[in-house]
Structure formats: C-alpha cells, structure tokens
C-alpha cells in the first residue's frame, strides 16, 4: 500500500511524499522563498493560433530555470544540513511537487470558449515534477519493482486529483530521458501537465476514436481494436501479459517506438485495478530495459502516457496507453525532425516496425531484474506473419 503525506514548500507550492510504509513526518522548507503569486499575474499565458485552431503556451519566465546542474547543486536531491533543495527531507522514496517554473498555472480556471485571432488568456492549469528516486544517477529502468510500483501509484493519485481541478481538460504524465531529448536535470524524474485545453495530438486521435466508437455501436474502442489486431498479427509484438501488451505500432513514426496498452478500455491510470498496475509495472520495467539493450547503452526517450481527455465524448471513446519513442536510429546517430516532419507533421521512418520489434524481442536488458516478476517475450513465430530479421539502419 502506498502512503501519501502532504506538505507545503516555503513559497506555498504543494509537495506530496509517496512511501511504501507509513510514518513520514514532513520537514519544514527552511529556504524562506518569496511567496509565489497565485493569480493571473503569476502565470504565463496561452495564445490562440487562428490558422491551426490550436492553443500555444507562452512561458517566458522559464528561461531562468535550472539547467543540467552538477550533482551537488541538483534541486531534487534530498536536502542536507548544508543545502536545502526542493525536497525538504534527508531521504524519500517518490515525491510529486508543483514545478517552480511551470508552463501552466498556478492560476486555475476556464480559458475562452470561442477564441479567434488575438485571443489570449492566463495559462491556467498545473505542472508537477515527479521524482522517482533520491539517487541523482540511474534511470527508471533500474528501479526495484516495489519502487516502480510506487511511481505508478503516484501517477494514478495525481491523475485523479489533477483531473478534478477547475478548468482542467487533459492530464499528461511523461518522462523526458537523456540530454539528447532536452532534459534540464539529470536526476531521474518525470513531469505531469494538467492542460486547460485538449492538446492537438489528443484532438487528432479523438476524431478517429469517436468515429470508431460510433461505428461499433459503443462495443469496442479504437485502441481495443488496434491492440486486438496487433496481438492476432503478432509480427510487431514485443511483450504480452494477461492485462497489457507491448508492440511496435503498424505505422510507427520513430526509429524506436513502442506502445504499451491494456487489453480492455481504460481511460487513465486512476481507472486501473491493482492487478493491472502490478503487471504494468513489470512490463514497463522490462520494456525500458530492452530499449537500452538494443544498443547496450542508455537510450534517450520520451515516455508519453496518453490518457483520455476530460471532454465529453472523448473519455468514453479513447483509451489509456504508453507511447515510448526515441530518435536513436543507430548506436551513434539520431533522427532529427527536419522539413517534412517539423513543418508538415508528415513522418518518414527509415526502418520497418517489424524489424524494430524483432530487435526489441531479442534485446537483453543491461539491468538486473530480481523482484520484477516473470515477463515472457512475445513469440512472433506463433503467428502467421514472421518478423524481418534485419537490424536498424546505420
């Protein structure tokens, strides 16, 4: 069972400790930070792009945020007698706290409902940091199963609470891993954005999901259909459990891209059963280890946990799943988003999804795995389509 302890930092931001045992007494933040502004003047802004119909957040105050500090200056390591950090504790397990340099928030509320050219509003919403471990080094894949399970519980807890805040339309937990992705802190951590609008990617997926939901008379969501078809085909499957499957999508955009999805329709972390969370933890750790094992060294990635938006109609039709992507296309090469991808959003992949799935099935995790449970890789040979054996292009 995960035990949650709430406290406040000296500027008023909320901090929550997630522990595997009870008894934590939160320490006082001794830094004496200036109380943050909680009204519209303390937030950035969102501006409406009339050409695309999308909102853009403008957060100029983030230019001054900490950037890749050395270990002795890390703001999310435990505090010591000689140095106070964002976490006023000499040790912790998993912590979530409001970002000191948020893209959204701290103001909460609705944004304009009928925007046009020139429409702007305070950037309402909330941004949180989730620290996975007190250790400054390592990665999520190196966490023991119990600690990773606590992170999953933290994601579930924060999803439920953030979804209930005024004006929130979508909650997005994610992890940026590696300097090549653009992280600003080496310490293993992730973030959660609670948006006041449905993001462009979610809107695009919602259009197809809602149409499919109607075509099936509300019997099967589009994600359920895709997962079922990937399992039946088999050539892109990587891992398969009782509740979840991991596969390289049929039309993968990135050199390394894997989806991890439940077998039933689930809107978000908060709707998962304890048994599903247990299996998700083991599969996710195994998958991350395989991603690093493809080249035998840490791979930069974005772990994007797609959750159904809170907008009416979307929540029923859309499903929860992980989209893990990496620009790494060879041991020493990255894919950059250039003209077609960056300007037109039209991706061109240099490797077949079947080849990537074969590499991931064969990959050996560089991390020890005791306590993570037994996870059996999917055997593509059991299916009618055989995965190609060629590797990723150089």
Mean pLDDT by 10 residues, the chain (394 residues): 97 98 96 90 93 94 76 95 96 97 95 96 97 97 96 98 98 95 93 98 97 97 98 97 97 97 98 97 96 94 98 94 96 92 94 96 83 51 36 40
Residue 6: what pLDDT?
Answer: 98
Nearest one of 378, 57, 391 to 255, comparing CA atoms = 391
Give the residue carrying structure tokens 């590696």. Answer: 178
Give the residue carrying structure tokens 């989806």. Answer: 259
Residue 63: what pLDDT?
Answer: 63
- Between the alpha carbon of residue 28 and those of residues 33, 215, 224, the distances in Å are 12, 55, 47
User: In DSSP terms, which residues pair with 45 in a beta bridge?
Assistant: 58, 122
Which two three-digit tokens encode residue 338? 């250039």
Task: Sketch out the chain's domains with CATH numbers.
Answer: 3-197 (3.30.428.10), 217-382 (3.30.428.10)
- CB neighbour list of residue 164: distance below 8 Å, 6 or more residues apart: none
Is 186 noted as a catalytic residue in this protein? no
Gyration radius of the chain's alpha carbons: 21
Residue 379: what pLDDT?
Answer: 61
Active-site choice (67, 187, 189, 218): 189
- Euclidean distance between CA atoms 334 and 181, whole angstroms: 10
The single-letter DSSP state of residue 353 is H
């Amino acid at each position: 069972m995960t035990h949650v302890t709430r406290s406040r930092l000296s500027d008023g931001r909320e901090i929550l400790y997630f522990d595997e045992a009870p008894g934590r007494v939160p320490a006082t933040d001794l830094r004496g930070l200036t109380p943050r502004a909680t009204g519209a003047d303390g937030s950035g802004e969102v501006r409406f792009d009339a050409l695309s119909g999308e909102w853009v957040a403008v957060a100029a105050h983030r230019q001054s945020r900490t950037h890749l500090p050395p270990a002795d200056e890390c703001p999310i390591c435990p505090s010591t007698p000689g140095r106070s950090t964002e976490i006023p504790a000499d040790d912790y397990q998993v912590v979530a706290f409001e970002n000191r340099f948020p893209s959204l928030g701290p103001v909460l509320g609705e944004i304009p409902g009928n925007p046009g050219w020139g429409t702007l509003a305070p950037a309402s919403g909330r941004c949180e940091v989730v620290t996975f471990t007190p250790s400054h080094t390592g990665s999520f894949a190196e966490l023991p199963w119990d600690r990773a399970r606590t992170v999953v519980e933290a994601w579930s807890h924060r999803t439920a609470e953030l979804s209930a805040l005024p004006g929130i339309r979508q909650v997005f937990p994610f992890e940026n891993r590696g300097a090549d992705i653009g992280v600003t802190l080496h310490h293993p951590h992730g973030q959660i954005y609670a948006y006041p609008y449905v993001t462009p990617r979610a809107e695009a997926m919602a259009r197809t999901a809602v149409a499919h939901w109607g075509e099936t008379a509300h019997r099967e969501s589009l994600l359920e259909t895709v997962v079922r078809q990937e399992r039946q085909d088999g050539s892109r499957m990587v891992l398969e459990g009782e509740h979840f499957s991991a596969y390289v999508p049929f039309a993968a955009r990135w050199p390394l891209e894997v989806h991890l999805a439940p077998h039933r329709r689930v809107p978000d972390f908060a709707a998962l059963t304890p048994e599903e969370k247990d299996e998700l933890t083991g599969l996710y750790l195994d998958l991350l280890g395989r991603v690093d094992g493809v080249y035998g060294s840490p791979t930069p990635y974005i772990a994007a946990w797609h959750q159904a938006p809170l907008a009416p109609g979307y929540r029923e039709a859309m499903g929860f799943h992980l989209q893990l992507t990496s620009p790494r296309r060879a041991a020493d090469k990255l894919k950059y988003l250039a003209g077609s991808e960056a300007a037109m959003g039209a991706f061109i992949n240099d490797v077949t999804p079947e080849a990537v799935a074969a590499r991931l099935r064969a990959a050996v995790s560089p991390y020890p795995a005791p306590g993570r449970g037994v996870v059996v890789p999917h055997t593509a040979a059991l299916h009618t389509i055989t995965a190609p054996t060629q590797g990723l292009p150089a």
